[in-house]
Structure 1
Amino acid sequence: MSRFTDGKGRYTDSWWSSPPDSIDHVGAEYLQHGYRHPNVKTARHDKFIKRRFKEEMARLTNQ
C-alpha cells in the first residue's frame, strides 16, 4: 500500500498487489492515469514516488 500526498494536502492510496521489479520504466501516465495516484501532476511528484518506491522495496526485500 502506498499513499501519496501532494503539496496541497490531497492524498491518494494505492494497493500494489504485484509490485513491478523496477519502477524506472513506469511513466508518469501510469501513475496518474493508471489509477495509482491521480494527484501526481509534476515531474517532481513522479521522481519522489519512484525514489520512495525503491527505498521501501529495498527495505522490504532485505529483511
Structure 2
Amino acid sequence: MKVPPDDLPVYRVLTGPDDAKFCRRVSEALALGYVLYGSPSVAFNGENVIVAQAVVWPSIDT
C-alpha cells in the first residue's frame, strides 16, 4: 500500500501521558504499517511524564 489507510497522514507525531493508552496508540500505528521515526521524546509537565513518538508511512522512507 503506497498511502496510509483511512486518509491518515504519512507523518504523524503521537503524544500523550506515558501510560498504557499511549503505548496502545503507538502499537496500533505500527500494526497499520507505520514505522518508528527517531527516538521518543519525554518531558515532565510538572504533573505527568509526557511522551512523543513520530511515525512515518514506509513509502516516504525510500
Larger Rg: 2
Higher relative contact order (CA 8 A, sep 6+): 2
TM-score for both structures, normalised by structure 2: 0.30
From the two aligned structures, give the one with the greater helix fraction: 1
TM-score for both structures, normalised by structure 1: 0.30
From the two aligned structures, give the one with the greater strand fraction: 2
